[in-house]
Amino acid sequence: MARVVVDVMLKPEILDPQGQAVQRALPRLGFEGVSDVRQGKRFELEVDGPVDDAALARIHELAESFLANTVIEDFTVKVEEEKAEAGK
């Protein structure tokens, strides 16, 4: 079993009302020094079997056709190391 992470973000030029709302809230809550916030989506896919090129290609395809709206969003696919620790 391996975990593949797909991160989906609005393209840089696309307006992100949610990110803006977060950014505006920060100073009100006393958190200074953040000039911009962009909000995205993270998908964690548990994959059966080895994550080889064929599996990644399939995940790339499903991300492109279903997880991301590529008209307005970019996405990245990355394999998470099994030994990665939880937290920091």
Q: Residues interacting with another protein, by CB under 8 A?
A: 10-17, 20-21, 24, 69, 71-72
Q: Which CB, 4 or 10, lies closer to another protein?
A: 10
CB of 11 to another protein, least distance (A): 6
Q: Which CB, 7 or 74, lies closer to another protein?
A: 74
Q: Which CB, 15 or 29, lies closer to another protein?
A: 15
Which two tokens mark 64? Answer: 């492109």
CB of 41 to another protein, least distance (A): 15
Query: In b/e form, how buried is each residue of 2-26, taking b as 16+ CB within 10 angstroms?
Result: eebebbbbbeeeeebeebeeebeee
What 8-state DSSP symbol labels residue 84?
P
Q: How many residues does the chain have?
A: 88
